[in-house]
Structure 1
Amino acid sequence: MLPIVGIGAGLVSALLFTVVITGSPLALLLSYVAPLPVFIAALGWNHRAGLVAVASGTLAVTVVLKLSLGLAFAIGAALPAWWIAYLALLARNDDQGNGEWYPLGRLLVWIAAVATLVTVGGALAISTDFETYRRVMTHGLQLVLSGGEGIGPVVRLPAGVDAAEIAAQLAALVPAAAGASFVPMIVANLWLAAKAVRLSGRLPRPWPLIPSTRLPAQAVAGLVGGILLSFAGGFIGLVGAALAGALIAAFGLAGLAAVHDLSRGKSWRTPTLLAIYLALVIMLITVFPFLALLGIADALIDLRRRKPPASPAA
């Protein structure tokens, strides 16, 4: 049963990954859920089924397209899904002999680490020479801003603005932005897969209290280290920027979880949550850093320690 489920999941995942080459908006959207079948196989049929999915999907992409795309599928979509699902199902007995599942906060740190590795792997796939990588990224962004090679500009710049200069500045932000964007993508795929597997009755882990998610204090040190590394330049700086972006995204999600947890049972809960989600839709870049700061504060001083523990059924 495991090989059949794994092979099927791997082939579906490979198909979702490769449709992006058509260039349509729907194909791009489908590529975001490419890890989902691997997550489902690993969560519902254990991690060995997930490994079969990784192998079958990688082989399919390699045979149908080429080896480099097969490796991109494995590193960028399949292996991260398998590893995160494997961690999500880890459990041990605590001092009282009760089962203790892998903490959501630590899982979120691993998701940030995986997002960093995927970002760095994508950069190295473009070129192992940093200057070449930077030129390629700058040129691609310049095409988006000013058009060229038979395509018009995607973004209209005001008159007198130098597209090349803006492109060079944006290229420096790509690693942090990519690291940050991969975190919610992985989290969303994990959540969807866990929901689907739970509905089928195959999820071994009891459904966790997601608002209780809190990152460990050590993650703050990781964020500081990433920020400092980002000033180093070259691929070392790229690693630091990707790590910083990924951890900021993780802290932002933890901050949002803290708002849910701290507002439980309060009269202002509903309007506050509605306002926050509306603000995230309208001005994500402005609001999200404040949630990240809340997540950082919660990791350092535990804003919820005086709050009575919430019931999972609440």
Structure 2
Amino acid sequence: MATILFIGSGAGLVSALLFGVVATLSPLGLLLSYVAPLPILIAALGWSHRSGLVATIVGAIVSAVFLPPAAGLVFAIAVGLPAWWLAYLALLGRTDHAELIEWYPLGRILTWLAVTAAGITLIGAISLGPSYEAYRSSLDDLIRAMVGAELTPALPVDADTEQFVRLVTAAVPAVAATTFVFMLTLNLWLAAFTVRVSGWLPRPWPSIPDTLMARNSLLITGAAGLGSVLLPGFAGLGATAVLGGMAAAFALQGLASIHAATRGNRARPVLLALLYLALLLLSLWIIVVLAGVGVAAVAWRSRKSARTAMLD
């Protein structure tokens, strides 16, 4: 127990420091804030999820003391609790009839990544105003200020600024959730790799290219798509955030499926290098294509599994 408290406290302090440097408003500070969940994930994966929970509590307290008090709550919601939860899922396992541990599937973790990112986005939106109208007004004002400060790409002379603001405001939940999914996934991978190298990772290293999201992920995505169009207020915003998070999860699924499909191909290194280069240069469009590949892979492999089960 003493080790858990010591490791967790240290991880919480480091995580709070990384979280706090964003206040410097420098590019380096922003970059460091993206890896704020990393120490908590390392502590939780290497020394049980209890250590990650201690890190979350310590990090929230430190943030509240040395930053504005509300920063402690922001740290807990956006950094600490998501990191603790993902580490908990990664180490979740059950023993089968042969006394072998069946670890929680990566595909389900991907789905939880999307849902977690959507939850963070929704809570962040609610915090901007007591009502949906107040949220929209606050976000519209922020985007107008960014346009006025030339922090956004220059608009054509004949462009309708208000229409542009409305479009950006509508897209913010999906973009935010997508960003959170990629950020949390990268942190989870880095933490697992670090703990694995140190020899403290309880779970065997999985075959990432063989990741397969569950069939119900397609239903979740379809329901989120409908909800984003039909539901009003924060309910519609939450559905839009889920849609964005699931799109990012399916893009990662598509990337894994391409890795799996090119096994044994002599041109595989070149093909993957071109794919990652395109991902860097044309990130938005490639993410859309990868999401389509991911959806197709889940649908096809789920249908194949269903047919196999029927034949058996």
Return the TM-score normalized by structure 2.
Answer: 0.93
Aligned residue in 2 for 1:310: none
Aligned residue in 1 for 2:180: 182
Aligned residue in 1 for 2:118: 116
Residue in structure 1 matching 2:82, options 67, 80, 83: 80
| Number of residue-to-residue matches in the alignment | 302
Name whichever of 82-91 and 126-135 sits farther off. 126-135
Aligned residue in 2 for 1:33: 35
Q: Is the CA contact 1:144–1:155 (under 8 Å) kept in the aligned structure 2?
A: no
**What CA distance in whole angstroms lies between the structure 2 residues aligned with 1:188 and 1:8?**
21
**What CA distance in whole angstroms lies between the structure 2 residues aligned with 1:85 and 1:229?**
30
Q: How far off is 1:303 after superposition? A: 8.0
Runs ≥4 in structure 1, deviation > 3 angstroms? 303-306
Return the TM-score normalized by structure 1.
Answer: 0.92
Aligned residue in 2 for 1:216: 214
**What CA distance in whole angstroms lies between the structure 2 residues aligned with 1:128 and 1:76?**
19
**What CA distance in whole angstroms lies between the structure 1 residues aligned with 2:66 and 2:112?**
32
Q: How far off is 1:65 after superposition? A: 2.1
Q: Is the CA contact 1:93–1:100 (under 8 Å) kept in the aligned structure 2?
A: yes
**What CA distance in whole angstroms lies between the structure 2 residues aligned with 1:207 and 1:128?**
45
Name whichever of 243-252 and 14-23 sits farther off. 14-23
Name whichever of 57-66 and 103-112 sits farther off. 57-66
CA deviation string 1:90-111 (max 9, x = no partner): 1112343322111000011111
Aligned residue in 2 for 1:158: 156
Name whichever of 296-305 and 57-66 sits farther off. 296-305
**What CA distance in whole angstroms lies between the structure 2 residues aligned with 1:263 and 1:304?**
21
Q: CA 1:139 to 1:94, structure 2 compared with 1: closer, same or farther past 3 Å?
A: same
Aligned residue in 1 for 2:274: 275
CA deviation string 1:183-232 (max 9, x = no partner): 11000000111111111111111111111111111000000111111112
Aligned residue in 1 for 2:167: 169
Q: How far off is 1:163 after superposition? A: 2.4
Q: How far off is 1:160 after superposition? A: 2.4
- Calculate percent identity across the aligned residue pairs: 45
Q: Is the CA contact 1:6–1:53 (under 8 Å) kept in the aligned structure 2?
A: yes
Name whichever of 160-169 and 23-32 sits farther off. 160-169
The amino acid of 2:9's aligned partner reads I
Aligned residue in 2 for 1:309: none
Residue in structure 1 matching 2:202, options 201, 204, 217: 204
Q: Is the CA contact 2:41–2:188 (under 8 Å) kept in the aligned structure 1?
A: yes
Q: How far off is 1:273 after superposition? A: 1.2
**What CA distance in whole angstroms lies between the structure 2 residues aligned with 1:157 and 1:115?**
30
Q: How far off is 1:154 after superposition? A: 4.2
Q: CA 1:25 to 1:304, structure 2 compared with 1: closer, same or farther past 3 Å?
A: farther
Aligned residue in 1 for 2:309: none
Q: Is the CA contact 2:118–2:177 (under 8 Å) kept in the aligned structure 1?
A: yes
Q: Is the CA contact 2:110–2:249 (under 8 Å) kept in the aligned structure 1?
A: yes
Q: How far off is 1:304 after superposition? A: 11
CA deviation string 1:8-30 (max 9, x = no partner): 10011011111111111111001
The amino acid of 1:87's aligned partner reads L
Q: Is the CA contact 2:215–2:302 (under 8 Å) kept in the aligned structure 1?
A: no
Q: Is the CA contact 1:280–1:287 (under 8 Å) kept in the aligned structure 2?
A: yes
Cα RMSD (Å): 1.6
The amino acid of 1:287's aligned partner reads I
The amino acid of 2:256's aligned partner reads A
The amino acid of 1:269's aligned partner reads R
Q: How far off is 1:117 after superposition? A: 0.5
Name whichever of 34-43 and 297-306 sits farther off. 297-306
More helix by share: 2
**What CA distance in whole angstroms lies between the structure 2 residues aligned with 1:304 and 1:273?**
27
**What CA distance in whole angstroms lies between the structure 2 residues aligned with 1:85 and 1:11?**
18
Aligned residue in 1 for 2:301: 302
Q: How far off is 1:128 after superposition? A: 2.6
Q: How far off is 1:305 after superposition? A: 6.2
Q: Is the CA contact 1:54–1:82 (under 8 Å) kept in the aligned structure 2?
A: yes
The amino acid of 1:43's aligned partner reads L
The amino acid of 1:294's aligned partner reads V
Q: Where do 5+ consecutive residues of structure 1 fail to align? A: 307-314
Aligned residue in 2 for 1:67: 69
Q: Is the CA contact 1:297–1:303 (under 8 Å) kept in the aligned structure 2?
A: no
**What CA distance in whole angstroms lies between the structure 1 residues aligned with 2:291 and 2:117?**
17
Secondary structure of 2:21 counterpart: helix
Aligned residue in 2 for 1:128: 130
**What CA distance in whole angstroms lies between the structure 2 residues aligned with 1:60 and 1:292?**
39
Q: Where do 5+ consecutive residues of structure 2 fail to align? A: 306-312
**What CA distance in whole angstroms lies between the structure 1 residues aligned with 2:260 and 2:142?**
42
Name whichever of 289-298 and 175-184 sits farther off. 289-298
Aligned residue in 2 for 1:262: 261
Q: Is the CA contact 1:298–1:304 (under 8 Å) kept in the aligned structure 2?
A: no
